[in-house]
Amino acid sequence: MRHPALVCPHVPSLLEQMNGYDIAVRVDRLEHVSRAAEDVRSAGGVLTRVILETDQPLSTVPIPEDWAGIPVALFTPGLGTYRDLSRQIQKLRDLKIHVCLPAGNSENLVSSRILASLGVTCCLVFDEREPRWAALSDLMTYAVFGPVPHAPVEPFHHIAEHYSPGAYLDWGSVYFDDPKEYLHLDSRGRAALSRRDLLSGSFIAEHISSINDPLENEGYVKGLNAWRRLFLDDHPCILCEGWKICLGRFGFNGSHKAGCSRFAADMLSEIEQYQSQRQEENPEGKTA
């Protein structure tokens, strides 16, 4: 199998050991973005994304010109005022910045639609707060069936493009949270299956160099199949209509809510409709 990309902190001594890996590098300061990208590249890594987390609203983040050519995922608590953001829209678009917003804040559901309609890719991050499901459902419909071209709203775009009726779909990769696609390293090179595992100190290897083929790592294989645990636990999510495209992700904090169940079921129905329409328009699956 293809080795998952590595999500690393911006520690030059660590990055120097990552020659040949696909790397997403995590920084916590705006002014470190360019340097982190340079460090990954000069160490022989393949830069997939610079992940910047900020507690500033997007409208107050001064995006520098020297981010050109750097794929940035910007995690921000909110948009701020549109009038202040408006001066940065062109830059966000030109630099192809992915804006990641917490879905638990209702304003961000509107903000995502604003950004997407202006050509800025955005991504809703499901945290411990329960989103307004009806508003989320409206946004999902816009993301999938929006009448005019717009930028992707993740995870809906990913789900619409990758869903297959005969298979389960894990879309955590849009947040770097899918061990098939990403492993998370700490500054010592220890590997974890997710950011959450990393922060809780739950590692599958003492150093990433010990994982040549991830499928030979017991912890990794166990992590890949973590969703099966819900069946063993008789979790209510397994009976949910939307299970195939949720895998318990919307049932955050291990709980199952009526709202998320209805939402996931609606989403599944719309995605199937979307794929069916696409099939009708392009029966042989030809690409342009």
Partner 1 sequence: MANLLLTTRCVRSCPYCFAKNEMAESDPSDILSWENVIYVADFLVRSNDHHIALLGGEPTLHPQFVDMTLYLLERGFHVTVFTSGIMSDERLEQLGSYLSTFPPERIQFVCNLNNPDQTPAPKGETEKVFRFLTALGPWTTPGFNIYRTDFSLDFIFDYIARFGLQGQVRLGLSSPIANQDNLYIKKEDMKKVIDRLYGYRNRFEKLRARPSLDCGFPLCYFTDEQLGWFYRMAGPMNFGCGPAIDIKPNMDVYSCFPLSNIHKRSLFEFNSIQEVVAFYLTLHDRIRQDSPGVFEECAACIFRNEGRCAGGGVCHSIEASCP
Residues of this chain that bind partner 1 (CB under 8 A): 81-83, 86, 89, 110, 113-114, 117-118, 138, 142, 146-148
Residue whose CB is less far from partner 1, 73 or 115: 115
Closest by CA position to 182, among listed 26, 11, 19: 26
Q: How far is the CB of 89 from partner 1 (least distance, A)?
A: 6
For 238, counting Cβ atoms within 10 Å of its Cβ (0-12 exposed, 13-18 middle, 19+ buried), the class is: middle
Question: How many other C-beta atoms are found inside a 10 Å radius of the C-beta of residue 40?
Answer: 27
Dihedral sign for Cα 210, 173, 90, 86, please. Answer: negative
Can you say how many angstroms the Cα of residue 231 is from the centroid of all Cα atoms in its chain?
25
Phi, psi angles (nearest 5°) of residue 287: -105, 155
Three-state secondary structure string covering 76-124:
CCCCCCHHHHHHHHHHHHHCCCEEEEECCCHHHHHHHHHHHHCCCCEEE
Q: How far is the CB of 147 from partner 1 (least distance, A)?
A: 5
Cα atoms in the Cβ-side hemisphere of radius 13 Å centred on 221: 6
Residue whose CB is less far from partner 1, 90 or 209: 90
Residue whose CB is less far from partner 1, 117 or 275: 117
Residue whose CB is less far from partner 1, 13 or 81: 81
The DSSP letter of residue 150 is -
Q: How far is the CB of 163 from partner 1 (least distance, A)?
A: 24
Closest by CA position to 99, among listed 116, 81, 117, 82: 116
Phi, psi angles (nearest 5°) of residue 55: -100, 10
Q: How far is the CB of 113 from partner 1 (least distance, A)?
A: 6
Q: How far is the CB of 76 from partner 1 (least distance, A)?
A: 18
Look up residue 97 and give its two tokens.
Answer: 């910045």
Q: How far is the CB of 117 from partner 1 (least distance, A)?
A: 5
Residue whose CB is less far from partner 1, 124 or 185: 124
Residue whose CB is less far from partner 1, 62 or 285: 62
Residue whose CB is less far from partner 1, 77 or 146: 146
Q: How far is the CB of 131 from partner 1 (least distance, A)?
A: 15
